[in-house]
Structure 1
Amino acid sequence: MSRTVAFIGLGHMGGPMAANLIKTGHRVIGHDLVTAAVEAAAGTGVEPAASAPEAVAGADVVISMLPAGRHVLGLYDDILAVARPGTLFVDCSTIDVADARTAHERALAAGKRALDAPVSGGVVGAEAATLTFMAGGGEREFAEARPLLEAMGNKAVHCGGPGAGQAAKVCNNMILGVSMIAVSEAFVLGESLGLSHQALYDVASTASGQCWALSVNCPVPGPVPTSPANRDYRPGFAASLMAKDLGLAANAVHEGGVHAELGLRAAELYADYAERVGDSEDFSGIVRTIRNRSGEAT
């Protein structure tokens, strides 16, 4: 069934996601604070709105893709009163679990419905509509949102109640951050032992070392032609975003009293890396930091 969707946040992730909704027959009214993002989205069929409240006024569903929890909560303050009663709000941003639960509470108090549905797959996944969505909220809300999520991705998982989607996202990305560091360290170790990148890849990719960080986003040039390492680490998933997500995971670790040495250390390493490169490099570029610190040339 075709829906009218208000899409707030048309950046590197939101723009392609909105375009994929249009490709599957939905009407999308979009808004972003960056004019260039709105213009690019308009080129894919998104109907531009001058403001977020204007975008949501007649929408069946409101989807947001924003940088941080404060942006999501600020947006909800601006638009909840404008949206029609019962409108479903689906936030695809990656934010703190507590902020996600607050967003749910504010939506319900305003007579609306809510789902947190962060994504995994990066810009490449957004463009190819191969994202994985991790959803938190009611079963009815998930069932209603699912056709839209599946138009933008190839998998949508209902993880539980409010905030559960964000919980799954921070756990998943803690695994990813730790595994990328481990894979990078292994390649630098292999270099020191005279092992070629291809030889290590051929073994580990079909043995117990196999993981997404190796087989899809391999941190060294050569073995996986589509990995960012083969285009000078131009981001698919920027170092700054990994640092942000690991920071959220670290907050949850501390709040939950969980003993997570590797997760916390990965957060420290990526915070330091992102401070130097920001969003100019893919998170797999951390291999060069490891190499530098090992006394090797970049």
Structure 2
Amino acid sequence: MSSTDKKVSTVAFIGLGHMGAPMAANLVRAEYTVRAFDLVPAALEAGVTAGAEAAASAVEAVTGADLVISMLPAGRHVLGLYEDILGAARPGTLFVDCSTIDVADARAVHALAEGRGMRCLDAPVSGGVVGAEAGTLTFMVGGGGEEFAEALPLLDVMGKKVVHCGAAGSGQAAKICNNMILGVSMIAVSEAFVLAESLGLSHQALYDVASTASGQCWALSVNCPVPGPVPASPANRDYRPGFGAPLMAKDLGLAANAVRAGGVHAELGLRAAEMYAAYAEGRGADEDFSGIVRVLREDSGKAAE
């Protein structure tokens, strides 16, 4: 039986944070047996409430599982986890890492798994907590074609768009490139609104023009950084995060690392990384990434003094 013919029924899910918990819950609703683990007791309890089976450890979670999904904060956490659990899995088990990590770390994870007789995909996501809860995430997947086909039914449960981007590390490459576009565009949209304010142009007027003209983009039409024009945007909830500024700072930092390593001239991407790092370390620590508009507004006021 080829790997693409395998029937996945039991899934180990490691990492039940804001993204992992609703992703695991969607798998439970699709009638997969989900054996879950998280170092944080409250997070594990949330997984159990959603119908997952609690494991006493990550090793216990992966023992006998057909497929392993991880959703962790950084590359070092994924590498450390794999060092601990690869020996407990059945030979040939497919590991799917949905964390957002450095491309080099993702390739190291693949090499580590394959060196222990396992198979691996990097499959970071876009769509935030709302997408995780609704099962409408976008998955960007790197790894082999057979492995992709095997994981696809589960990824389809958790997302609405699943793209096989190429070989090992390609999913992470797509993720950081996409989020570099998003970070730069959010700053550009925010600067435009602050400029509009200084010119006496209302938020609604600028939105009505730009949202149907060449300035249209996701940062404007879905996550508009000012209150009013898009009722569902975080700006109307005092910038409570949908996608937090620290997460944007992390992703732009990964993009900046790749830019420097590749010798790429990406002035705007590097500047956006600097701006979001500063914002996330200050008032943006608990805010949506669109809240950077307030920093730009304050800096503009200081410059005008």
Aligned to 2:20: 14
Quick check: 1:119 aligned with 2:125?
Answer: yes
Residue type of the alignment partner of 2:161 = K
TM-score normalised by length of structure 2: 0.96
Quick check: 1:180 aligned with 2:195?
Answer: no
Gaps of at least 5 residues in structure 2 are 1-6
Aligned to 1:194: 200
Residue type of the alignment partner of 2:110 = H
RMSD: 0.9
Aligned to 1:47: 53
Gaps of at least 5 residues in structure 1 are none
Aligned to 1:212: 218
Residue type of the alignment partner of 1:14 = G
Change (3 A) 1:277 1:54: farther
Residue type of the alignment partner of 1:83 = A
Deviation of 1:23 after TM superposition, in Å, equals 1.1
Equivalenced residues, count: 296
Q: What per-residue deviation string (whole Å, max 9, x for no partner) do you get for residues 128-147 of structure 1?
A: 11100000000000011111
Aligned to 2:4: none
Residue type of the alignment partner of 2:172 = Q
Deviation of 1:43 after TM superposition, in Å, equals 0.7
Aligned to 1:81: 87
Q: In structure 1, how many angstroms separate the alpha carbons of the residues matched to 2:39 and 2:286?
A: 21
Q: What per-residue deviation string (whole Å, max 9, x for no partner) do you get for residues 216-243 of structure 1?
A: 1110111111111111111011100000
Q: In structure 1, how many angstroms separate the alpha carbons of the residues matched to 2:241 and 2:75?
A: 23
Aligned to 1:285: 291
Contact 2:8 / 2:66 at 8 angstroms: preserved in 1? no
Aligned to 2:253: 247
Q: What per-residue deviation string (whole Å, max 9, x for no partner) do you get for residues 23-46 of structure 1?
A: 111111100111101111111101
Residue type of the alignment partner of 1:257 = G
Work out which of the residue numbers 109, 113, 133 in structure 1 matches 2:139. Answer: 133
TM-score normalised by length of structure 1: 0.98
Q: What does residue range 67-106 of structure 1 map to in structure 2 within 5 Å? A: 67-106=73-112
Aligned to 2:3: none
What is the DSSP-based 3-state SS (H/G/I as helix, E as strand, rest coil) of the residue aligned with 1:136? Answer: strand
- Identity of matched residues, %: 78
Deviation of 1:278 after TM superposition, in Å, equals 5.2
Quick check: 1:28 aligned with 2:34?
Answer: yes
Q: In structure 1, how many angstroms separate the alpha carbons of the residues matched to 2:224 and 2:279?
A: 18
Quick check: 1:234 aligned with 2:213?
Answer: no
Contact 1:131 / 1:154 at 8 angstroms: preserved in 2? yes
